[in-house]
Amino acid sequence: MYLNKRKVIFLISILSLVFLLTINDIKSQELKVVDGDTIHLNGEKIRFTGIDTPELNQTCINEGVIDPCGVTAKKILIDKIANYKVECISEGKDQYKRILAECFVNNESLSSYLVRSGYAFAYRRYSKKFVLDEDYARINTIGMWSMKFDYPWDYRKSKKN
């Protein structure tokens, strides 16, 4: 009888340990998508490196019709993330104290996905990493490449004046 109690206590101990080790994976993330290239993840503001998406209030012209391309970029990111866990690799901080990172869902780069979808641009001023993704979207006239648009950096500059 003594050995059976020891086995039960041992089994309960092992199961408790496994539960405690996996509880972090069970917890949901605190995630808020701010715009197409910025998220808040577990209290940290993260700006995706190497890409630039249209501003939320930025519009494009699609066959003569105004298209809210900034809102669309945010929606594409929200839809891609869905209920999946987001994992980010930090690359430092920017002048606004945001974490600069490349983030992934199911091992797929969100930055690459946005650029290939035509709703983000390779931010060549800072990185050449997503140039091939941008070429793909441009050549295949995907997303904003099928519309009349301003690059996000030009749009921001025009709003300052």
What is the pTM assigned to this prediction?
0.81
CB 86 within 8 A of CB 31: yes
CA separation for the pair 133, 90 (Å, rounded): 21
CATH class of 29-154: mainly beta
Distances (CA, A) of 29 to 11, 46, 81, 158: 30, 14, 12, 36
Nearest to 46 by CA among 32, 56, 25, 57: 32
DSSP reduced 3-state for 85:
coil
Residue 62 forms beta bridges with which residues? Answer: 65
Residue 110 is predicted with a pLDDT of 98
Q: Where are the domains of the chain?
A: 29-154
74-86 residue pLDDT tens: 999 999 999 999 9
CB 98 within 8 A of CB 47: yes
126-135 residue pLDDT tens: 899 999 999 9
